[in-house]
Amino acid sequence: MASNKKPGPGGAARTAAGGHPLKIAIVDESPIRAAILEEGLHDAGHGDVVRIADMTDLLTRIYAVDPDVILIDLENPSRDILEQMLQMSRAVRRPVAMFVDQSDTASIQAAVDAGVSAYSVGGLKKEGVKHILDLCISRFNAFARLQSELERTKTVLEERKIIDRAKGILMKAKSMTEANAYALMRRTAMNEKKKIVEIAQSVITTAELLK
């Protein structure tokens, strides 16, 4: 358990070995996700967050920022550039891949599934970085959920538009009511074991061919 001196769960994560507030660099080309991540880190008490969106000369940028923790999106090819930092024989502050700890494969799995990777620089305690990584994993997952919901909404809207157009075509061509046009497409879809949007699309295609 955390001692009373500590500011609460995860509190130990907020300062680096030297006692200064943790500086966190987010390397992400998606400004929305980086913002969501930054907000989460702020809420957890990490005020010193720097976003890096431009990948040109990334190492120089990172050295200039001099972060304690680097977070990077797994879809970013520049991850390999960070791996070089692990190898630099003469670097004073040498980062360590979060994944180096052999025992914690569950953590690696969760991070890879979520699409984020973390590197700690200098003498950071493992628990501190793990706390940050866990937070990032949940934020990355939240972002992915948001994105898939958005996609789903978009698809539903598109499908509704297609069905509406097909209904209009049937109503005009067969002098049907809207309800009957919809019922006809639904019945056809069920008979042919297809989705109603597929039937609607073929109605539109046929109508265009017969124009």
Partner 1 sequence: MSGPVKLRIGFIPLADAAALIVAADKDFAAGEGLDVELVREVSWSNVRDKLNIGLFDAAHLLAPVAIASSLGLGHVKVPILAPFNLGLNGNAITVSPGLHAAIAAAADGDIADPKVSSCALARVVRERRKAGKDPLTFGMTFPFSTHNYQLRFWMAAGDVDPDEDLRLVVLPPPYMVESLASGHVDAFCVGAPWNSVAVDLGIGHILHFVSEILARAAEKVLAVRSQWVADNPGVLERLVRAHTGAAAYVEDPANRDEVAAILSAPNRIGVAAEVIRRTLDGRLKISPSGAVRASDRYLLIGRAGDARPDPTQAAWLYAQMVRWGQAPMSAALLAAAKAVFRPDLYDAALGGGHGLPAGEPADGIGAFAGPAFDPDNIAAHLAIWPIRRGD
Residues that bind partner 1 (CB under 8 A): 55-57, 59, 74-84, 86-87, 89-90, 97, 99-100, 102, 105, 108-109, 112, 117
Least distance to partner 1 from the beta carbon of 117, Å?
Answer: 7
| Shortest reach from residue 88's CB to partner 1, in Å | 9
Q: Please give the Cα distance from 108 to 112 (Å, whole number).
A: 6
Closest approach, Cβ 176 to partner 1, in A, equals 43
> What is the layout of strands, in order, in the sheet containing 48-52?
48-52, 23-27, 69-73, 116-121, 95-97
Whose Cβ is closer to partner 1: residue 80's or residue 208's?
Answer: 80
- Residue (83 or 127) nearer to partner 1, CB: 83
Contact indicator for 121, 69 with CB cutoff of 8 Å: yes
Tokens of 16: 């680096």
Q: From the centroid of its chain, how far is CA 17?
A: 30
* Residue number, 129 or 196, with CB nearest to partner 1: 129
For residue 40, the minimal CB distance to partner 1 (Å) is: 23
- Name the minimum Å distance from CB 101 to partner 1: 8
- By DSSP bridging, strand 95-97 and strand 116-121 are antiparallel
The residues pairing with 203 across neighbouring beta strands, listed in sequence order, are none
Nearer to partner 1, 12 or 99 (CB): 99
Tell me whether residue 76 or residue 185 sits nearer to partner 1 (CB atom): 76
128 neighbors 13 (Cβ within 8 angstroms): yes
Take residue 2 and report the two structure tokens written for it: 């955390």
